[in-house]
Structure 1
Amino acid sequence: MSRLFGTDGVRGLANGELTPELALAIAASAARVLAAHDRSHRQVAVVGRDPRASGEMLEAAVVAGLASAGADVLRVGVQPTPAVAFLVSELNADLGVMISASHNPMPDNGIKLFAAGGHKLPDGIEDEIEAGLDADAVRPTGAEVGRVSDVDDALDRYSAHLLAATPHPLAGVRVVVDCANGAASAAAPEVYRKAGAEVIAIHAEPDGININDGCGSTHLEQLQTAVLEHGADLGIAHDGDADRCLAVDAVGQIIDGDQIMAVLALAMADDGELTDETLVATVMSNLGLHLAMRAHGVNVRTTAVGDRYVLEELRAGGYAIGGEQSGHVVLPAHATTGDGLLTALRLMSRIASTGRPLAELAGVMRRLPQVLVNVRVADKAAVAGSEAVRDAVGAVEAELGEEGRVLLRPSGTEQLVRVMVEAPAQDTAQAAADRLAGVVSAVS
């Protein structure tokens, strides 16, 4: 049987794979597991959600599950995922539950759990929770049943935290923010205005159905148009739960997560905040990021794909910034998880403090053409052990030298091998990727 928890919690079709019964069971099991680890006090859980329609149903189930297991519940309503992580620490809670499917389409939903302090739960605790789903536990009664209350100032607390982490006022910055009709719809425009920016908000009217619908960080076309129409300095795009941030410069060019990290890492280096002059990125970050950082004396530590692995490396080395090409950026001094609003504030702060346009700041990094070919195979292990594949990869790497890169990565969920090639020219990258894909396909 496959593991219930993926790299980012439990996710699936709401009321299909992710039913209220399952949500109740997960919440109750989580409360019991955490109580078993610490019986010194009554457990307290923070529960938030994004605005998709099924969130109302799943929130009710999660709250019921927690209270039925004896945990007190603090409901914070519609909030970004990083706000829930922050509020777990801020409210001295033992557990956080965020109900969201992030950038997924509206019919999906998910449950993400945070431990005390707002950190992701360790795999071992998640396994204990999964093992306890069908447990015939003794339920508390009377005064031992959990109580439920609402935190009316949750957004104010989160906004104050973000403003305190913004190093320079945003006066003079005009920004268009695409809130994806998601969890950032109230928070992002408010906090950007409080920081001093002139804000034009689009897709900030969630109705439970329109989250991520042709908007947000996975659909940047309308943001590009709006930036040009309003003569803005930049555009910011969030996903449904606002843990990511992508940007658009004043002429509508996309600034991806790698470029954002390059800008922020150099800003932190200038301010003496870049621990060990090191940035953490995944293997999928563009080679251009590595070359730009090397030119500026910044080391790049590389991890497997997934924010979980970035977080592990950040914590292990005590590093100050890490993230992914998708715009999921973590700044451990201020957040325990990716925070799209914090990322945007820091990016705009750099623009405001230097007086330089985003295109110039992001120009420190040149994105190399990147080609990705998915090759369906019968046996991923055979590909990994193939001498022919190794020889082909070695030959391409020798041809590209330091100005190119090859990455072969087996899919974690399908019988696919992903062939990625970066090179100075698109044609060169495409030809090399096609050549390697042919060798991989021939093995199986």
Structure 2
Amino acid sequence: MSLIKSISGIRGTIGGKVNDNLTPLDVVKFASAFGTWLQNNKNKKDLTLVIGRDARISGQMVSSLVTATLQGLGINVIDLGLSTTPTVEIMVPELNADGGIILTASHNPKQWNALKLLNEKGEFITGENGAEVLALAESEDFNYAEVDDLGKYETRDDAFDIHIQQILDLPMVDVEAIKAKNFKVALDAVNSTGGIAIPMLLDKLGCETIKLYCEPTGHFPHNPEPLKEHLGDICELMKKENADVGVVVDPDVDRLALIDEKGEMFGEEYTLVAVADYLLKHKKGAAISNLSSSRALRDVARSHDSEYFASAVGEVNVVTLMKEKNAVIGGEGNGGIIYPDLHYGRDSLVGVALFLTHLAKENKTVSELRAGYPSYFMGKKKIELTPEIDVDAILSKMEQEYQKEDVSTVDGVKIDFENNWVHLRKSNTEPIIRIYTEAHSQEEADQLGDDIIAKIKSLI
């Protein structure tokens, strides 16, 4: 079964049977549910939704289904076509729309696609709202428009320009400082829409771009999750071309990984750390990440006399806490940068601009910059689930097993040991348990993960 319905949207593999995979009928039903939910909750007659998609192969098909369904409900559609998640988020309020739908399965392989749902602020809908949409999808209580009341359809081809200009206009993005450095940037965009948007941004910043996998064909040349084990090609390209920095984004461009001038990973966790270091030097305030993110962000925040807070995992939870604490910067350790002066969404484009500003002003190489941060190493593992396994019971047993340690159950089970930690949680998007660890060496972090996996297996 490869159809996952959650409060954050619907995600699945293309093809197969209805209710088991992401079939055309499932797409229509879920788009109908979201459109109907908006109609039920808006005190206005004419509604407009913005849609955009990444470059995956099924994107055009899914987009056509969503567009026709919304028009069938009497909702107007503004179609950005090939876009990025942050670009769609920017354009919803820019166009005074009532919401948005992003068609992307993010870091999942090419057979997957998904519908991600946005409110009128261009932010992901809340868990409560998502539950209401799911209930509507189950009830199929839809009322489609008559022929004279069908929604209108239009396209926009200026969304990237608008998004990039808003980034260039940010006071904390120093365009002239970046231009003065003439940075040589290698880019791996995994043959999706980052291959369009990121070079446009880098050109405006006066950088030379060395492109790798930048054709938006949707044929991902490697696993699209921007992890070290998938990025051998760009690491080699960095050394071959003597580039200053490597930029890697996932298919929908909301996760940013960096590579230093030696072809070594900067560390996905440290994207947020570096950007926070730059921003908190100039403005004291809270920094936010989730429970599975590195302690390094806490350390950097404290070095600038700023506060650090951790939310439950999930962008919606991070954003909620950021608003509550009026945070200067936030995000997730998977390379997701949320800069509220632009918008409340993970955005690799603003991440690139802020990082390059920091790099230019520090007058260091990427490896020198990384060496200045606390040395932590993350381990990320997972266990495949089967229907007969009671995952909640396993998590409860793990909580009991380590009750003498500092244990949090705010989101799954996080066990804080003196020198390291492990966080166990069920994925919202895939049928797995994710296991995050952190320690003072990669070997220690990986070993901790293996030990925890062995412990879980002993309890199954």
1:78–1:435 Cα change, 3 Å: closer
Gaps of 5+ in 2: 408-413
Q: Which is further off, 170-179 or 56-65?
A: 170-179
Whether the 8 Å contact between 2:54 and 2:83 is mirrored in structure 1 is yes
The residue number in structure 2 matching 1:82 is 86
Out of 232, 239, 245, the residue aligned to residue 243 of structure 2 is 232
Counterpart of 1:60 in 2: which secondary structure? helix
Out of 175, 182, 204, the residue aligned to residue 185 of structure 2 is 175
Distance in 1, matches of 2:41 and 2:221, equals: 38
Whether the 8 Å contact between 1:261 and 1:329 is mirrored in structure 2 is yes
Whether the 8 Å contact between 1:262 and 1:364 is mirrored in structure 2 is no
CA shift digits 1:72-119 (9 cap, x unpaired): 011110001110111111101001111111111111111111110101
The residue number in structure 2 matching 1:14 is 14
Whether the 8 Å contact between 2:277 and 2:300 is mirrored in structure 1 is no
Q: Is 1:253 equivalent to 2:260 in the alignment? A: no
Counterpart of 1:261 in 2: which secondary structure? helix
1:297–1:70 Cα change, 3 Å: same
Distance in 2, matches of 1:130 and 1:430, equals: 38
C-alpha deviation, 1:3, in angstroms: 10
Q: Is 1:331 equivalent to 2:339 in the alignment? A: yes
Q: Is 1:220 equivalent to 2:231 in the alignment? A: yes
Whether the 8 Å contact between 1:257 and 1:324 is mirrored in structure 2 is no
Distance in 2, matches of 1:202 and 1:41, equals: 46
Distance in 2, matches of 1:175 and 1:306, equals: 30
Distance in 1, matches of 2:4 and 2:225, equals: 28
Q: TM-score, normalised by structure 1?
A: 0.88
Residue 151 of structure 1 aligns with an amino acid whose one-letter code is: R
The residue number in structure 2 matching 1:383 is 397
Residue 146 of structure 1 aligns with an amino acid whose one-letter code is: G
Counterpart of 1:236 in 2: which secondary structure? strand
The residue number in structure 1 matching 2:411 is none
Whether the 8 Å contact between 1:371 and 1:429 is mirrored in structure 2 is yes
Whether the 8 Å contact between 1:74 and 1:149 is mirrored in structure 2 is yes
The residue number in structure 2 matching 1:194 is 204
Residue 397 of structure 2 aligns with an amino acid whose one-letter code is: V
1:438–1:392 Cα change, 3 Å: farther
Whether the 8 Å contact between 1:176 and 1:232 is mirrored in structure 2 is yes
Q: Is 1:349 equivalent to 2:357 in the alignment? A: yes
1:174–1:65 Cα change, 3 Å: same
CA shift digits 1:312-353 (9 cap, x unpaired): 211221112112221011111112210111101110111123
Whether the 8 Å contact between 1:177 and 1:236 is mirrored in structure 2 is yes
C-alpha deviation, 1:390, in angstroms: 2.1
Q: Which is further off, 293-302 or 61-70?
A: 293-302
Counterpart of 1:73 in 2: which secondary structure? strand
Q: Which is further off, 211-220 or 110-119?
A: 211-220
Counterpart of 1:362 in 2: which secondary structure? helix
Q: Is 1:211 equivalent to 2:224 in the alignment? A: no
The residue number in structure 2 matching 1:284 is 292
1:282–1:391 Cα change, 3 Å: same
Whether the 8 Å contact between 2:186 and 2:243 is mirrored in structure 1 is yes
Distance in 2, matches of 1:416 and 1:151, equals: 38
What's the RMSD between the two structures over aligned residues? 3.1
C-alpha deviation, 1:428, in angstroms: 5.2
1:73–1:412 Cα change, 3 Å: closer
C-alpha deviation, 1:214, in angstroms: 4.8
The residue number in structure 1 matching 2:97 is 93
Q: TM-score, normalised by structure 2?
A: 0.85
Percent identity among equivalent residues? 24
Whether the 8 Å contact between 1:321 and 1:331 is mirrored in structure 2 is yes
The residue number in structure 2 matching 1:424 is 440
Distance in 1, matches of 2:91 and 2:162, equals: 8
Counterpart of 1:213 in 2: which secondary structure? coil
C-alpha deviation, 1:311, in angstroms: 1.5
The residue number in structure 2 matching 1:155 is 160
Matches within 5 A, 1:379-418: 379-380=393-394, 382-384=396-398, 386=400, 388-391=401-404, 401=418, 404-412=419-427
The residue number in structure 2 matching 1:135 is 140
Whether the 8 Å contact between 1:46 and 1:73 is mirrored in structure 2 is yes
CA shift digits 1:122-154 (9 cap, x unpaired): 222222222223434332223311011111322
Distance in 1, matches of 2:223 and 2:446, equals: 29
Count of aligned pairs between the two proteins: 435
Matches within 5 A, 1:267-278: 267-272=278-283, 274=284, 276=285, 278=286
CA shift digits 1:12-70 (9 cap, x unpaired): 10233111222122222222211221232400011111111211111010001100111
Distance in 1, matches of 2:381 and 2:105, equals: 27
Counterpart of 1:109 in 2: which secondary structure? strand
Counterpart of 1:250 in 2: which secondary structure? coil
Whether the 8 Å contact between 1:392 and 1:436 is mirrored in structure 2 is no
